[in-house]
A and B are shown apart, each in its own frame.
Chain A
Amino acid sequence: GENVEQHPSTLSVQEGDSAVIKCTYSDSASNYFPWYKQELGKRPQLIIDIRSNVGEKKDQRIAVTLNKTAKHFSLHITETQPEDSAVYFCAASENSGYSTLTFGKGTMLLVSP
């Protein structure tokens, strides 16, 4: 089955800095890679996703890159703000049928003012 590794487990940055979270996956059949953000005490919510037909996707201050050859994908947050502080989870699945998401262990991002 799929195995998703996520690094780092914690990340502290100053407001305005960039933050990068990296994930690797094991199943070459995976081709859907979402990122979820969970603020303290709240539910995980999808913030961005990428499918294997593209290498990069951007939405305002967040971007995701995908390297299928190396089986890794990354989340990039620019100009970080305190409200970006949360736990971020990467995940992977096949893009067909009743495939299920396999999540990484999460990265706790702390943005200090």
Chain B
Amino acid sequence: EAGVTQFPSHSVIEKGQTVTLRCDPISGHDNLYWYRRVMGKEIKFLLHFVKESKQDESGMPNNRFLAERTGGTYSTLKVQPAELEDSGVYFCASSHATGAGELFFGEGSRLTVL
């Protein structure tokens, strides 16, 4: 069974440019999460989809970040325009069950904004 896959693994862009990160969750997992880790800091929650609906987007930093999950399958996270402080590793995770349980993480997309 394929795990959570993320693309790209690494992206280097200049301030002001746009980047779109993609996440393919484990098939059948209704819950999809985006997290971000800035170096040395915690893995910080960004948002949570249940199928195609945004269940919780309280962690989204500002309106430069847009997440979508059309059709309830894969998800994209767009940063437009990117700022220096957006640099970090963006993790996607999925889970099957509601309530507390194991999250299955992707390997992350490392974003470097110059």
Query: Which of the residues A4, A34, A51, A100 comes within 8 Å of B48, measured between beta carbons?
Result: A100
Chain B: which residue is nearest A44 at the CB level? Answer: B105
Q: Which residues of the other chain, A, contact B71 by a CB distance below 8 angstroms? A: none
Give bound CA distance, A43 to B107, whole Å: 4
Q: Which residues of the other chain, A, contact B108 by a CB distance below 8 angstroms? A: 43
Q: Which residues of the other chain, B, contact A96 by a CB distance below 8 angstroms? A: 99-100
Q: Which residues of the other chain, A, contact B61 by a CB distance below 8 angstroms? A: none
- Please give the distance in Å from B9's CB to the nearest CB on chain A: 10
Q: Are B42 and A104 in contact (CB under 8 A)?
A: yes
Query: Which chain A residues numbered 84 to 113 have a C-beta less than 8 Å away from chain B?
Result: 89, 91, 93-106
Give bound CA distance, A102 to B100, whole Å: 12
Query: Which chain B residues numbered 19 to 64 have a C-beta less than 8 Å away from chain A?
Result: 31, 33, 35, 40-45, 48, 50, 55-56, 59
**B4 interface contact, C-beta 8 A:** yes
Q: Which residues of the other chain, B, contact A36 by a CB distance below 8 angstroms? A: 105
Q: Determine which residue in A51, A94, A99 has the highest number of CB atoms from chain B within 10 A of its CB, and name it.
A: A99
Chain A: which residue is nearest B40 at the CB level? Answer: A105
Residues of A in contact, count (CB < 8 Å): 31
Q: How large is the interface on B (under 10, 10 to 19, 20 to 34, 35 or more residues)?
A: 20 to 34
Q: Are A101 and B41 in contact (CB under 8 A)?
A: no
What secondary structure prevails in chain A residues at the interface with B?
Answer: loop
Q: Are A46 and B102 in contact (CB under 8 A)?
A: yes
Query: Which of the residues B44, B45, B98 comes within 8 Å of A97, measured between beta carbons?
Result: B98
Task: Give 15 A-B contacts (CB < 8 Å), ordered by A residue.
Answer: A34-B102, A41-B107, A42-B107, A43-B4, A95-B99, A98-B48, A98-B98, A98-B99, A100-B45, A100-B56, A101-B45, A101-B100, A101-B103, A103-B42, A105-B42
Nearest first, the 3 closest Cβ-Cβ pairs linking A and B are A32-B100, A103-B43, A95-B100
